[in-house]
Amino acid sequence: MALRKPPLSGAYGADARFTDFGGWEMPVEFDSIRTEHAAVRESVGIFDVSHMGEITVTGPDATALMQRLTSNDVSALSVGDSQYAMITDESGTIIDDTIVYRLPDEGERYLFVPNAGHDEEAYRRWVDHRDEWDLAADVENETDEWAMVAVQGPDAVDAVGSQTDADVEPFSWGEGAYADVAGVRSWVSRTGYTGEDGFEILCPTDEVGAIWEAFVDAEGCEPCGLGARDTLRTEMGFLLSGQDFDPDDEPRNPYEAGVGWTVDLDTEFVGRDALARVASDGVEEAFAGLILRERGIARHGYEILADGEPVGHVTSGTMSPTLGEAIALGYVPAALAEPGTELSVAVRGQEKRAEVVSTPFIED
């Protein structure tokens, strides 16, 4: 199958390197991961995240449909707000994580963002359940119509403020509005996945080039690839779909994955009853952060050991550009997930001492 190319493909310049991500040919690195990572932590960077899916849900029962298919309380969203939520199956296993935006159109209108390559599956899930429950809602997979960039970093407010007619500075986290960005009608939301202040900008696919160029050329934003996105989100302890959870290879419920706060058991959704049992019984395994105390880097798939015996595995691991230390995320028995616990990681067969630490790895 041919890789889907983001609409900005032509704007990246000759230095970009690419990777297959969820069926999309995405830039992994422009300059260097270290440079791009530092730009986001210290000033401002821009990511093309057009590989993310966009699905809209409208109509009289739009809220009901969203409520029953996502873990968080959709009815709590004011117009313009957004929330992080899990999409779970009947057993409470995370199928995907998503941001749900409530858009200010007439009536009820939502846009949610499934991960790369999951848009068609999410669309089918929404349509099938709508029909099964006989709800009045229109569901559209608009992934091809929307492009998305993320402008992230301590200087993001200034950069975005200079390019838009909206007063974005007073926005609280998750708040958004329609605005002209570099002359392009867009949805601008104070969200992101780097741990820094910043915005995600959704705009029509064929106009995203003007936005990218405005931020790179006029605002001096560092173009950033998925490599830096991965080191940034790992430093925050944020989950990566398909790696830190995956319904087939890494089936995890939200409590194990450390995102129990996205579950509202007072709402009715697919997986709610199973998760209520987990909430009352507790989890056997928990998502933990590790720092290696010996030279080496823990990578995805490496075993985590306690007293020389395998007790879990690393789901994400890298050298933290901010800390200059090897950090990792993975699942271990709940009793071993307490910060300060001494474990080890088998790095190519050699045991390296590691310590459980609380996440985020860097100061919030």
Partner 1 sequence: MFEVPEDRKYLESHEYATTDGDTATVGITDFAQDELGDVVFVELPEVGDEITQGEEFGVVESIKAVSDLYAPISGTVTAVNEELFDRPELVNDDPYGDGWMLEVDVSDDGAFDDLLSADEYREQTE
Task: Name the residues that contact partner 1, by CB under 8 A.
Answer: 28-29, 32-34, 227, 230-231, 295-297, 299, 318-319, 321, 326, 348
Q: Which of residues 165 and 295 has its CB atom nearest to partner 1 in the complex?
A: 295
Binding residues for substrate: 200
Residue 42: alpha-carbon gap to chain centroid: 21
Q: Which of residues 189 and 194 has its CB atom nearest to partner 1 in the complex?
A: 194
Minimum CB–partner distance for residue 235 and partner 1 (Å): 12
**Burial state string for 269-292 with b = 16 or more CB within 10 A and e = fewer than 16:** bbbbebbeebbeeebebbbbbbbb
Minimum CB–partner distance for residue 161 and partner 1 (Å): 31
Minimum CB–partner distance for residue 225 and partner 1 (Å): 10
Q: Which of residues 31 and 81 has its CB atom nearest to partner 1 in the complex?
A: 31
3-state SS, one letter per residue, for 252-286: CCCCCCCCHHHCCCCCCCCCHHHHHHHHHHCCCEE
Helical (H) or strand (E) element with 63: helix 62-69
Q: Which three-class secondary structure state does DSSP give residue 10?
A: helix
Minimum CB–partner distance for residue 37 and partner 1 (Å): 8
Minimum CB–partner distance for residue 350 and partner 1 (Å): 9
The string of DSSP letters for 170-189 reads TPPTT-EEEEEETTEEEEEE
Binding residues: 200
Minimum CB–partner distance for residue 353 and partner 1 (Å): 16
Q: Which of residues 340 and 349 has its CB atom nearest to partner 1 in the complex?
A: 349
Q: Which of residues 172 and 295 has its CB atom nearest to partner 1 in the complex?
A: 295
The string of DSSP letters for 207-266 reads GHHHHHHIIIIIS-PEEE-HHHHHHHHHHHT---BTTTBBTTTB---TTTTT-GGG--TT
Helical (H) or strand (E) element with 39: helix 33-42
Burial tier of 51 (Cβ tally within 10 Å: 0-12, 13-18, 19+): buried
Q: Which of residues 107 and 348 has its CB atom nearest to partner 1 in the complex?
A: 348
